[in-house]
A and B are shown apart, each in its own frame.
Chain A
């Protein structure tokens, strides 16, 4: 699986706004560039990124070829209950990556 680096708080107070930052290794090949042989390199991007908190979706974004390689996404959410934040990336060539972090809400 692709390398992933996630920065999320381990604990939060109920009702607090928490920031979740996620970085993933991916070439984000645009599909517009010719390779050394002159042929177009096929598009290979992460198309979809989503986050769920105990199974409930809290964030989703569509990515385009304009997004740089190794996309870094940061978003905010409100801490509701203890559990797992699951991050999921999917894209071209059957690319899927998942990462889970535990968070305790008091």
Chain B
């Protein structure tokens, strides 16, 4: 009986993964929605401008900072080994403060506690560069948010924000990214809003930007008032979106139009 059950489970697992591999997953990343020219730009590491930031991040990884005089590499060693899959797990609960943090928050937590250095300014090039370098190590790996009971509340708060209407246009995120994904908003294709490639080099920004910047962009577009910098709403939405994209491959640092 046990053997039969195991066999059935294995068959189910196989069928699911087969379906995913065959494109049975209706989810599409922003990368898949882009034209071939932009996809090529992202795929070529010498044409993807985000790689310039990753280059800076690689330098910063080995630079000593703060009163502790330690570099990231002094504790974590080779990022290609220690940071593999890390970006695919965040936001997560940081045990030392028992609170959810995103990747940028985790980097700053490391700076203040282990390096005894001041936090890097939110959305600064230095922070984005380190984020890009860490995210690069998860390229191709599936997004795997942790099964933390404490994150469930954060995610459901994010889901409410995603589905709730707001702003002068009275729109919710879901109105565009669920109901009308794949259709056009003026000349641009509306993506399904899976955060697979962050931090992204957005051509419109001519710079690398975080998921928070992207969220703020959308909120302004809905003519709603963006939350104050560092507000928990951003983290909640990030946690929900990563959970929604669970299993999709990371393509960070991405290029987006």
Enumerate chain A interface residues (CB-CB to B < 8 A): 3, 5-7, 21, 23-25, 28, 68-70, 72
- Cβ-defined contact, A70 with B47, below 8 A: no
**B101 interface residue, CB < 8 Å from A?**
no
A68 to B47, CA, bound (A): 14
**B55 interface residue, CB < 8 Å from A?**
yes
CB within 8 Å for A6 and B46 given contacts A69-B207, A70-B206? yes
* Minimal Cβ-Cβ distance residue in B for A71: B49
Enumerate chain B interface residues (CB-CB to A < 8 A): 44-47, 49, 51-53, 55-56, 203, 206-207
A13 to B56, CA, bound (A): 35
Apart from A3-B55, A3-B56, what are 15 other A-B pairs with CB-CB below 8 Å? A5-B47, A5-B51, A5-B52, A5-B55, A7-B44, A7-B47, A21-B44, A21-B46, A25-B53, A25-B56, A28-B206, A68-B206, A69-B206, A69-B207, A72-B47
Q: Which A residues lie within 8 Å of B203 (CB)? A: 68
A39 to B51, CA, bound (A): 32
- Cβ-defined contact, A72 with B49, below 8 A: yes
Can you list 17 residue pairs at the A/B interface with Cβ under 8 Å? Answer: A3-B52, A3-B53, A5-B46, A5-B51, A5-B52, A6-B46, A7-B44, A21-B46, A21-B47, A23-B46, A23-B51, A23-B52, A24-B52, A25-B53, A28-B206, A69-B206, A72-B47
A24 to B47, CA, bound (A): 10
* Minimal Cβ-Cβ distance residue in A for B129: A3
Q: How many A-B residue pairs have CB under 8 A?
A: 37
Q: Which B residues lie within 8 Å of A24 (CB)? A: 52
Partner of B52, one of A21, A28, A70: A70
A3 to B47, CA, bound (A): 13
Q: Which A residues lie within 8 Å of B47 (CB)? A: 5, 7, 21, 23, 72
A72 to B38, CA, bound (A): 14
The 3 A-B pairs at the shortest CB distance, nearest first, are namely A7-B46, A69-B206, A25-B52
* Minimal Cβ-Cβ distance residue in A for B49: A70
Q: Which B residues lie within 8 Å of A72 (CB)? A: 47, 49
Q: Which A residues lie within 8 Å of B46 (CB)? A: 5-7, 21, 23
A11 to B116, CA, bound (A): 48
Q: Which A residues lie within 8 Å of B206 (CB)? A: 28, 68-70
Q: Which B residues lie within 8 Å of A6 (CB)? A: 46
Q: Which B residues lie within 8 Å of A21 (CB)? A: 44, 46-47
A28 to B49, CA, bound (A): 14
- Cβ-defined contact, B45 with A5, below 8 A: yes
Q: Which A residues lie within 8 Å of B44 (CB)? A: 7, 21
Q: Which B residues lie within 8 Å of A68 (CB)? A: 203, 206
A78 to B52, CA, bound (A): 28
